Amino acid sequence: MSENDVSYDDVPCDLMRLLFTKQRPEDLVIAMCVCKSWRAIIRDSSFVYAHLKHCRRTSLTDHNASLMVDGAHNYDAFQFSMQYSEEFTGHRHCRIPFDNLYYSVETSCDGLVLLSATGCRQKMLLWNPAIRKFKLVPVSGIRNLPHCRTGFRPVHEQQVLVVGFGCIECNNKYDYKIVQVLYYFSDNAFQHSYVTVYSLWSNSWRRIRATPPCYTNVDVSNAFVNEAVHWRAESSADCWVIMAFDLREEVFREIPLPDHHHDYYSMYWYIAVFEELLSVVLHYQNQEGYDFVEIWVMKEYRVVDSWSKLFVLGPTRFLYPLGIYEE
């Protein structure tokens, strides 16, 4: 090497950190293979925190917003990806890194996808499709789940397992957490619940004494916003509500839905996040059979009077909402 040549190690670390902060995750994987000093920078916990903070602030992770749907056909697992990009040229098949096991998409947060094994939701993994890395989640302390099933009002002795996923910021780092809520029923009556929380930072589960205020279902959507996971739920008063679990305080809360002229039991609805606000998407039909979709947002978190209707789509035929996207 001549005196005028500059090696990768000659570039100041502070400058490289600044440049790396603005790169996509998949580009950082390539940069880690260039030299040891770059690898050390990218693997440093303070850089990971700074990069994710930048991604959240600039929506870097949404440069190719997509909708991923999983399913099965003739016992072959497949996923669909709907891209929102003018540069999109084709779909990409997302390969799950496991053989002989079928997995379902639970939810996602900051580009991390939480998957669970079909038929055994205790087996879970965290997957980062951008860098093609995955991590097995250790099995929680919940036992005896052979009859875990979907649906409200289980018969005889049944168990319903519900899962949520999100993260909190603490001491200049992000800790991703998974919450499992196990409901025990006997003769159609709720008996008790069992709640455990997993921390990615400690890679361990803890049982907590929090008690869910209402029942929720294994096959309903959940949304993470305001450091809390939210599910559709049925209260003890036999009405639909939103059940929230605060990942920082580790407590449950009940959030009423917006007032609507249609009965919530007569329409399809799910929870979503729109512009960092808790939202609900309502899908119903009028008496003439026309479809309508409404999007409501809670402008001030946990303030019931702040529910506001943003959009109404319809009337139309055969309308079915897949999701909402912020352009």
Count other C-beta atoms under 10 Å from residue 237's C-beta. 7
Alpha-carbon distance 246 to 258, whole Å?
21
Report field, pTM of the whole predicted structure over 0.85:
no
Q: How far apart are the first and last CA of the chain?
A: 49
pLDDT tens string for the chain (327 positions)? 455 555 666 677 777 777 877 787 778 877 777 888 887 777 776 777 677 777 766 754 444 555 455 544 444 444 545 455 555 555 566 666 665 567 778 888 888 889 887 767 778 889 887 777 889 999 887 654 444 444 444 445 577 888 999 999 888 888 999 999 988 877 766 677 889 999 999 999 999 999 998 888 766 668 999 999 999 988 877 788 999 999 999 999 999 999 887 777 778 888 999 888 999 988 888 888 888 889 999 999 999 999 999 988 878 766 555 565 555
Contact by Cβ (8 Å): 271, 230: yes
Q: Provide the residue ranges of all domains of the chain, joining segments of one domain with +.
A: 8-58, 257-327
Q: Under 8 Å CB-to-CB from 77, ≥6 apart: which residues?
A: 70, 71, 96, 102, 103
